[in-house]
């Protein structure tokens, strides 16, 4: 074994088998290239300005905002799994906890990175903390996501410190142990923060009086989209986790998590998805028949523009909502791995479609009577930055899988046996 491979093997947990270093680097190479292209594209946007994108005064939000909302919704599995394990004491989900934290960290850090490029003056990001507008949903989102990213980082630290070499440092070992004892507190804080920011991301659009396609009535200061976004996030977070683990199992060629964990995640996702579909359907009916007409917008005028016709509504609620909810709860299909994963993929598509409809379709539709239906196509810089976030996620997860005990039998609990 070469000295480099030998050094690398010392970082891999004892008893765990991983592919050779050259093969691992070959796996990482295309993702690193994708990341590099995306970083270059982001650099262009930061240096030359947002004219590098195809966003304009009518499409002020574009691909990046859709990406942000989408990956934050999918990353909800992190807080929700933590809530289930530490608060509701669902210990059977513990094997997937580390992955949930890593996936959550990737999703939120990626979203924040994209936001820093998306705003016109990133260096002024601290202004929101210094001059907060307590009436704005975006202020609430900023505060909560900043705090939650900190919490996720803190939850990631104990996993990092369980690396074979890092554990040898006494201070790291003891600190990791101490922090791990307090993770339930962080999980509770994370649940509170996530509840609010997932909701406020929905509230961003629900409060827009000037966009009747998105505007909703609600409870007190919170439009119905506040609650719908929370529901859809906690419904699809577990599905996304299932998909991630299934992909990792396929790529690594090993069974990492017991099928029972998948079944439980699927059941939780299916039930919540069913609740979400019911709530969304009721909300849509209220919006179509009361809210929108009261603002002077007839119910079906939104759907006369191709390609955003009523099939979009049907696809979002039925194909990507009701169908996966059924597949994940009906015993015959819920017990079958293939159906379960297909349903999980449909559910994830559903939440992405919902976020797309609320961002892009909202802006495409005319409001003034002499407006036109608008279209927008992202520039290569926007697509490359999008690709960079995905590449970043794959790289971070790959490194975490290789060097950290993400799937140790007891989730890392027994990593302190003397002599190891």
Which 256-285 positions form the footprint of other proteins (CB under 8 A)? none
Distance of closest approach, residue 380 Cβ to other proteins, in angstroms: 17
Distance of closest approach, residue 144 Cβ to other proteins, in angstroms: 8
CA distances 225 to 92, 346, 407, Å, are 32, 21, 36
Binding status of residue 150 toward other proteins by CB under 8 A = yes
Angle between helices 21-48 and 97-118 (to 10 degrees): 30
**Which one of the spans 21-29, 89-97, 103-111, 148-156 is the region binding other proteins (CB under 8 A)?**
148-156
Distance of closest approach, residue 70 Cβ to other proteins, in angstroms: 17
**Which one of the spans 231-239, 277-285, 292-300, 397-405 is the region binding other proteins (CB under 8 A)?**
292-300
Q: Measured from the CB atom, is 161 or 241 closer to other proteins?
A: 161
Binding status of residue 328 toward other proteins by CB under 8 A = no
Q: Measured from the CB atom, is 151 or 353 closer to other proteins?
A: 151
- Beta pairing partners, 222: 219
Compute φ and ψ for 342, nearest 5 degrees: -60, -45
Q: Measured from the CB atom, is 299 or 383 closer to other proteins?
A: 299
Q: Which of residues 179-238 bind other proteins (CB under 8 A)?
A: 179, 181-182, 185-186, 189, 192-193, 204, 207-212
Please answer whether residues 190 and 82 qualify as being in contact, where contact means their C-beta atoms are separated by less than 8 angstroms. yes
Q: Measured from the CB atom, is 1 or 174 closer to other proteins?
A: 174
Please answer whether residues 66 and 102 qualify as being in contact, where contact means their C-beta atoms are separated by less than 8 angstroms. no
Distance of closest approach, residue 372 Cβ to other proteins, in angstroms: 11
Q: Which of residues 371-400 bind other proteins (CB under 8 A)?
A: 371
131, with CB counted inside 10 A (0-12, 13-18, 19+), is exposed
* Both tokens assigned to 172: 């790291």
Q: Which of residues 3-62 bind other proteins (CB under 8 A)?
A: 49-51, 56-61
According to CB under 8 A, which one of 315, 329, 367, 398 is a site residue for other proteins?
367
* Peptide bond preceding 219 in cis form (omega within 30 of 0): no
According to CB under 8 A, which one of 29, 36, 87, 119 is a site residue for other proteins?
119
Binding status of residue 125 toward other proteins by CB under 8 A = yes
**Which one of the spans 9-17, 23-31, 98-106, 144-152 is the region binding other proteins (CB under 8 A)?**
144-152
Distance of closest approach, residue 419 Cβ to other proteins, in angstroms: 6
According to CB under 8 A, which one of 3, 14, 88, 171 is a site residue for other proteins?
171
Q: Measured from the CB atom, is 3 or 171 closer to other proteins?
A: 171
d(CA 360, CA 61): 7
Total of chain residues touching other proteins, rule CB under 8 A = 75
d(CA 241, CA 97): 10
Please answer whether residues 30 and 395 qualify as being in contact, where contact means their C-beta atoms are separated by less than 8 angstroms. no
């Amino acid at each position: 074994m070469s000295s480099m491979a030998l050094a690398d093997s010392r970082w891999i947990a004892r008893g765990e088998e991983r592919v050779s270093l050259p093969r691992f680097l070959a796996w990482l190479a295309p993702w690193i290239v994708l990341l590099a292209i995306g970083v270059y594209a982001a650099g262009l946007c930061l240096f030359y300005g947002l004219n590098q994108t195809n966003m304009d005064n009518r499409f002020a939000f574009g691909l990046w905002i859709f990406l942000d909302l989408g990956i934050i919704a999918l990353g909800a599995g992190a807080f929700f799994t933590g809530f289930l394990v530490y608060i509701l004491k669902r210990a059977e989900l513990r094997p997937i906890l580390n992955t949930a934290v890593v996936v959550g960290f990737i999703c939120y850090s990626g979203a924040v990175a994209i936001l820093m490029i998306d705003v016109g003056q990133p260096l002024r990001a601290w202004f929101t903390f210094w001059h907060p507008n307590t009436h704005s949903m975006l202020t609430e989102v900023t505060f909560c996501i900043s705090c939650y990213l900190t919490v996720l980082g803190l939850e990631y630290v104990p996993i990092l410190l369980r690396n074979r070499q890092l554990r040898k440092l006494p201070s790291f070992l003891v600190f990791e142990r101490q922090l791990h004892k307090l993770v339930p507190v962080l999980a509770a804080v994370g649940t509170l923060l996530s509840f609010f920011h997932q909701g406020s991301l929905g509230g961003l659009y629900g409060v827009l009086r000037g966009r009747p396609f998105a505007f909703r009535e609600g409870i007190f200061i919170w439009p119905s989209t506040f609650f719908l976004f929370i529901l859809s996030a906690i419904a699809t977070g577990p599905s996304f986790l299932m998909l991630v683990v299934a992909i990792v199992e396929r790529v690594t060629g090993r069974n990492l998590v017991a099928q029972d964990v998948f079944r439980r995640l699927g059941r939780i996702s299916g039930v919540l998805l069913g609740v979400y579909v019911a709530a969304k359907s009721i909300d849509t009916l209220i919006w179509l028949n009361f809210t929108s007409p009261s603002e002077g917008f007839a119910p079906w005028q939104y759907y006369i523009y191709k390609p955003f016709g009523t099939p979009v509504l049907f696809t979002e609620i039925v194909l990507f909502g009701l169908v996966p909810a059924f597949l994940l709860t009906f015993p015959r299909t819920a017990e079958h791995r293939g159906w379960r994963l297909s349903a999980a993929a449909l559910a994830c598509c559903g939440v992405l479609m919902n976020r797309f409809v609320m961002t892009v379709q909202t802006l495409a539709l005319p409001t003034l009577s002499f407006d036109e239906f608008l279209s927008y196509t992202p520039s290569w810089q926007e697509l490359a930055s999008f690709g960079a976030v995905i590449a970043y996620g794959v790289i971070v997860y790959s490194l975490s899988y290789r060097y950290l005990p993400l799937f140790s039998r007891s989730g890392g609990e027994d990593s302190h046996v003397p002599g190891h």
